[in-house]
Structure 1
Amino acid sequence: MRKSLLSLVLLGILVLGVVASGCIGGGEGGTTTSSSSPSKTTTSSLSKTTTTTTTQSETPTPEVECGSGNVVIWHAMQPNELEVFQSLAEEYMAMCPDVTITFEQKPDLESALKAAIPTGKGPDLFIWAHDWIGKFADAGMLEPIDEYVTDDILKDFAPMAVDAIQYKGHYYAMPFAAETVAVIYNKKMVSEPPKTFDEMKAIMEKYYDPDNEKYGIAWPINAYFISGIAQAFGGYYFDDKSEQPGLDKPETIEGFQFFFKEIWPYMAPTGDYNTQQSIFLEGRAPMMVNGPWSISDVKKAGIDFSVVPLPPITKDGKEYWPRPYGGVKNIYFAAGIKNKEAAWKFVKWFTTSPDAIKELSLKLGYIPVLKPVLDDPEIQSDPVIYGFGQAVQHASLMPKSSKMDAVWNGVDKAITEILKDPANADIPAILKKYQQQILENMNG
């Protein structure tokens, strides 16, 4: 999601990763590509009579507010994510038997929303990382929920999550998780996780054996996934305050040069997400850079693993922490919503229920942004959630500006050009070229 995309809990900070396709938005992280036609739809309507293992009473408790009618939610989640969401929706419907929650899968969610909402055929809600809030609000495709969002509700969320649901003075969504990328390592191959980049490079050198299709690290390459290194030395893709891109900044250029000089030589020669992930899942690399959305596949592969932040880089006696983009996962209210009252009551329960958020965290590795869950001992003792939580503390919240589409597109084009010949690419010239293209596209 701008896979995706996080995003951001910054464990106390919050954080949203975002991928994007954001991964952030439900699925792989990173950036998304939109098309002009609506995408294929898979509908999953949850019947009120669905069997559920919940032990909760079907009679609504005082804490649960129940509406009535159907609430339609569009998403682009992976199957393992959808399974947990459906389970939670079933619990809610068991308590609120007059409500039906319907999930509809949209592989190209952005195009589907842009085609449907203006014609009045959109959903009530949709799920994605916070970085869509600016462009969707500016386009009039979001429904404000200012009348529902009170200080009493906001006080229970990490600060970055509160920032992620508002734009130009209005609230348009509710947050439920944060995400960013981190180092996922195979404990059978790496006995001690790298605490510095030099240690990580030593591990990469040890396992790099391309003749036998083995590599030092698995790392999908697009604007989202390499943002941590690209922005490590103080550079940036885009500044949300000035609304200006920064590809031509010396610090950004330095970050790109570092990635393609110090990391790329130890990788399989492809930036493809699925290929890079498979390399790690098949035991052909000791480490992978990926987000919480990948944890289910890692577990299915039977890998004994743990998670740590991207380690700091020491240069000229100074320590630089990689600053990967992070995102906050939001449930948005779409303009033209048909059942706003029932939708709000479900979303309020889903995002403020410690039990629901804890289940998302433990089953999917989501980093919670709800303070009571962040403080839960079981959550704090979980190595995956703790590892990503630490990573989030070094993350950079993805910009919310509607101008970011031009930036994502420009950065990905620059990366594509560099990948044609990474060893000989004139990285400063390429980044300056696409800086100008981004500016031209932003200005019309």
Structure 2
Amino acid sequence: MRRGIALAAVASMAFTLAACGGNDDSGSTDSATEGVSAAPAGDGNLTVWTDSNREPALKEAAAAYEEETGNKVELVVKDFDGIRADFLSQVSNGEGPDITVGAHDWLGEFVANGVVSPIELGDGAADFAEVSISAFTYDGQVYGLPYAIENTAIIRNTALADSTPESFDDMIAMGEEAGTDYSFLVQTGAEGDPYTFYPFQTSFGAPVFEQNSDGSYTSDLALGGENGQAYAQWLAEQGQAGVLDTAIDYDIAVDAFKNGESPYILGGPWMIADFEDAGIDVAVDPIPSAGGETAVPFSGVQGFYMS
């Protein structure tokens, strides 16, 4: 999401959308389409599911919303891992919250089961990164209000490497110059890790699906053919050279980086706190290309759904 759109601000938008549109029996959301700034009239009391990580920001947003509108917000703190199943079950039975926090990859199941309502962002859509809106779009309708995007990147130990590599080969060479046990770390494991390795795959021009000119995905697979074979050959070569190792799983990779055994690791924001707690000064770099094209990782988007 673009900088400046804080979680509390997005939560306030979600409250307004739900009160203006989600509780309107006519199905109209016109009052919330002009930049989602209209204040609800009447009973706009809301029940919102969140987890403990997001509760402080939502408390701030709820207090501001209540002061502005006179309506009440009840925050129910739940285990994030259980929200998806509980929401499906309870909303299907006419219960559950007005709003829940959730991930974009829940969308298909939610829409198929009829438990979420589409929303209209109006002019407010311009405040969000395009990929975040796309992630919550199904059959041309937006069903979630995004607030955070996460993806993998190269995390660099600045004490061991002081510059951003321009290519995968540059990164390996710089890692070897650092004189550490590993030139580069990536979780692989005995069965491989397609999610983490995906940016290298895309750098060979072999994404999972073909895309239309407008960026939407088709059902045609694009991971095979000449480009896919080139990527497979590269994997084999890197394994033979010892750069990629099936003995390196997530825990081994993270521990090795924490112990200063490599200047680079391919990972996500969920790793940063552990590294900083270990006293490592880290920088976050784009993933360098291995196949000549741009390395594009999968993105995860989190946001708010309306029952």
Query: Does the alignment reach a TM-score above 0.5?
Result: yes
Show the counterpart of 2:122: 151
Question: What percent identity do the matched residue pairs reach?
Answer: 25
2:142 to 171, 182, 201: 171
What SS class does the counterpart of residue 243 from structure 1 fall into?
strand
RMSD: 3.1
CA drift of 1:172 comes to 1.0
2:295 to 322, 326, 331: 322
Letter in 1 for 2:255: S
CA drift of 1:271 comes to 5.2
1:180 to 151, 173, 178: 151
2:231 to 245, 255, 278: 255
1:238 corresponds to 2:212:
no
1:302 corresponds to 2:302:
no
Letter in 1 for 2:113: A
| 2: CA distance, partners of 1:325 / 1:163 | 13
Q: Do the aligned partners of 1:207 and 1:286 also contact (CA within 8 Å) in 2?
A: yes
Q: Quickly say closer, same or farther: Cα 1:161–1:269, change in 2 above 3 A.
A: closer
Q: Do the aligned partners of 2:151 and 2:299 also contact (CA within 8 Å) in 1?
A: yes
1:86 corresponds to 2:55:
yes
Q: Do the aligned partners of 1:268 and 1:276 also contact (CA within 8 Å) in 2?
A: no
Q: Quickly say closer, same or farther: Cα 1:106–1:226, change in 2 above 3 A.
A: same
Letter in 1 for 2:166: K
Which 5+ residue runs of structure 1 have no aligned equivalent? Answer: 1-8, 13-62, 76-81, 338-444
Show the counterpart of 2:169: 198
Letter in 2 for 1:241: Y
CA drift of 1:92 comes to 2.2
Q: Do the aligned partners of 2:152 and 2:267 also contact (CA within 8 Å) in 1?
A: yes
Show the counterpart of 1:437: none
Show the counterpart of 1:282: 259
| 2: CA distance, partners of 1:273 / 1:169 | 37
Over residues 162-188 of structure 1, what are the superposed CA-to-partner deviations in whole Å (9 max), with x where a residue is unaligned? 323321132211011222211110011
| 2: CA distance, partners of 1:99 / 1:257 | 55
The TM-score normalised by the length of structure 2 is 0.70
Q: Quickly say closer, same or farther: Cα 1:74–1:93, change in 2 above 3 A.
A: closer
Q: Provide the aligned length of Structure 1 versus Structure 2.
A: 257
Letter in 2 for 1:132: W
Q: Quickly say closer, same or farther: Cα 1:150–1:247, change in 2 above 3 A.
A: closer
Which 5+ residue runs of structure 2 have no aligned equivalent? Answer: 4-36, 211-215
Letter in 2 for 1:298: F
1:216 to 183, 200, 213: 183
5 Å-filtered alignment, 1:44-443, equals 65=39, 69=45, 71-74=47-50, 82-83=52-53, 85-95=54-64, 96=66, 98-107=72-81, 110-120=84-94, 122-145=96-119, 149-206=120-177, 214-221=181-188, 222-239=193-210, 241-262=217-238, 265-267=242-244, 269-270=246-247, 272-313=249-290, 319-333=292-306, 337=307
Show the counterpart of 1:439: none
What SS class does the counterpart of residue 242 from structure 2 fall into?
helix
Q: Do the aligned partners of 1:215 and 1:267 also contact (CA within 8 Å) in 2?
A: no
What SS class does the counterpart of residue 198 from structure 1 fall into?
helix
